[in-house]
Amino acid sequence: MNRKITLIIPVYRSAKFLHKTLEAVDNQKKESGWDLEVVLVEDGSPDNSFEVVQDLAKIYPYIKGIKLSRNFGHQIAVKTGLHYATGDYIAIIDDDLQDPPSLLPRFFEQLDSGYEVAYGIRRKRKESRLKKLAYTGFYRLLDTISETKIPLDSGDFCVMTKNVKDKMLTLNEQNPYLRGIRAWVGFKQIGLEYDRSGRIEGESGYSLKKLIKIAKDGIFSFSSLPLQIISILGNIGLLISILFSLFTIIRYFTNEIEVAGYTTIIIIILFFNSILLISLGIIGEYIYRIYNEVRNRPYTIIEKTVNI
């Protein structure tokens, strides 16, 4: 059965090399005989990426172009693309060919065999050792604390059926962590290992600040452990208070109380104030996210489109 394929590609700072990505997509389209649409979501890029998208849409008529009014972030860009995907099978890939289109036929075979989602598991990745260590640590931390089983070392690179895409879009979250949402909706899923390539050109649009935001979205959206930590810190503080109170009472009755004790008092004050501020910070993070959802703002603003 010939199924329509949709490729969702978020676009950011890729004006110089986006044509190479589309060439690779078109070559795979011809080789596999896809009935294809490509949704390019330009996420407020500071270069002329959307002009390139417009030019490419003249060459490849199956392109749909979307320009967001500002930079809303990778996850929002992908979610926007999901809303405009009309294919029976939907794939999410990056614009830098780190997840090349040539891998997709192997993933689509899994959907043909009955799976609803096939996601990529990164066996190797062309990044610095520090960055790889941070990714590895984060994925294992999230796996430990999350109430939802999120596959280790899996990114947004995946293929899914229209059914799963529709179910994911019912979760209208302001700060979506899509690989977590993909795992949360369930259905029959399989992970496929692959070696992630280096970027064809340029530098990643993921700054440290953006990576930290995605990490926070994953942790606070799929785990209540930070709130449980507050209770643990409170219990530790209570235990220390009781022990120190007993110590002080014993010293009082044994006439060992001296004027000295300034250092001890300062240490105790700093300790409990630190616990208090950490607890307020964690609670504030959850309250901010609740506030974000209650405001019910649109999660993105579209400035202009091509072929839509």
**Using CA atoms, how far apart are residues 170 and 51, in angstroms rounded to an integer?**
32
Q: Show Cβ contacts of residue 240 under 8 Å, excluding neighbours closer than 6 positions.
A: 268, 271
The pTM (predicted TM-score) of the whole model is: 0.69
Question: Over the range 95-104, which residues count as b (16 or more CB within 10 Å of their CB) and which as e?
Answer: bbbbbbbebb
CATH superfamily of 4-223+298-306: Spore Coat Polysaccharide Biosynthesis Protein SpsA; Chain A (3.90.550.10)
With CA atoms as reference, report the closest residue to 222 among 161, 298, 139, 100. 139
Which has more pLDDT, 169 or 281?
Answer: 169
Gyration radius of the chain's alpha carbons: 25
Q: Domain-by-domain residue ranges, the chain?
A: 4-223+298-306, 225-295
User: 285 falls in which pLDDT band (50, 70, 90)?
Assistant: confident
Average pLDDT of every residue of the chain? 78
Strands 154-161 and 89-92: antiparallel
User: 82 falls in which pLDDT band (50, 70, 90)?
Assistant: very high
Alpha helices in the chain (DSSP H): 18-32, 49-59, 74-83, 104-112, 129-145, 162-169, 178-184, 208-222, 225-253, 262-295
End-to-end CA distance of the chain: 26
**Using CA atoms, how far apart are residues 183 and 128, in angstroms rounded to an integer?**
28
**Using CA atoms, how far apart are residues 182 and 171, in angstroms rounded to an integer?**
10
Percent of the chain at pLDDT above 70?
Answer: 71
Tens-digit pLDDT profile for residues 22-71: 999 999 999 888 999 999 999 888 888 899 899 998 999 999 999 999 88
What average pLDDT does range 240-264 have in this prediction? Answer: 66
CA 88 to chain centre: 24
Which has more pLDDT, 95 or 271?
Answer: 95
Answer whether 308's CB lies under 8 Å from 85's CB: no
